Amino acid sequence: MGFLDSILGKTRLPEAKTDKLFAISTAAVTLDASLGYKADGAAGVCIKPMESSRYEAARAEIEELLKISIKETGTEYKIQKDEYNYVWVVLADPDFEDLVTNIQMISQILMEQGFGTQLLAAVYRFRGEAVIYWIYNFKLGSYYPFVPASDRQRDTSREFRLKALMEKEMPIEKDESKWYPMWGMPL
């Protein structure tokens, strides 16, 4: 950001960081073998809504590539909005590696089309003694656990245990104040 931008109050949104996105692949093995949490075949990408013809072109490219991927991997997808009007590409596939690969593909397309600042999070759902979500924050380039409990409460003690057990396996966000709950996810 330049001096003039700071005087005029213009700020640049951070671009998405995807370099650590694949860390979930090896972490999933540990989550299953050591902790009993299995990937349950659901994942998604959360995108900040935007209005533009370039976005429609990116959406069309994502859908075209997902249609090709479906033929190869059997991954199912849908694009929908959540209760907060964020756009989600929701994926379903019993093969966890296919989910991870498709999340990466969607992220790359959006970045190549100039929408890296619109990418908010990738989310992977696991089931064990509770339903847990591993959320990758594209702006921070790190993961954090989200364990919803009843009445829009979080199981923070389980989240902290998961952090302690998994921080050697994947890049965990150290600042817990940035562990945003993602209520209303369509997965």
pLDDT of the chain, 187 residues: tens digit per residue: 444 444 444 444 455 676 788 899 999 999 999 999 999 999 999 998 776 676 677 778 778 877 887 778 889 999 888 988 888 999 999 999 999 999 998 888 888 888 888 899 999 999 999 999 999 999 999 999 999 998 899 999 999 999 999 999 999 999 999 999 999 999 8
> What are phi and psi for residue 79, nearest 5 degrees?
-110, 125
Position 19, amino acid: D
Burial level of 169, CB count in 10 A (0-12/13-18/19+)?
Answer: middle
SS3 96: helix
Position 18 scores a pLDDT of 67
Measured between alpha carbons, how far is 48 from 116 in angstroms, rounded to an integer? 10
* Positive/negative CA dihedral, 21, 25, 30, 35: positive
Q: Are 159 and 37 in contact (CB under 8 A)?
A: no
What separation in angstroms does the CA of 156 have from each of 86, 144, 163, 164, 176? 25, 11, 10, 12, 10
Output the pTM of the full model. Answer: 0.86
Domains, in order of start, for the chain: 13-178 (3.30.70.600)
What's the residue count for the chain? 187
Q: How far apart are CA 119 and CA 47, in angstroms?
A: 5
Give alpha helix (H) positions in 44-181: 53-73, 96-112, 156-166
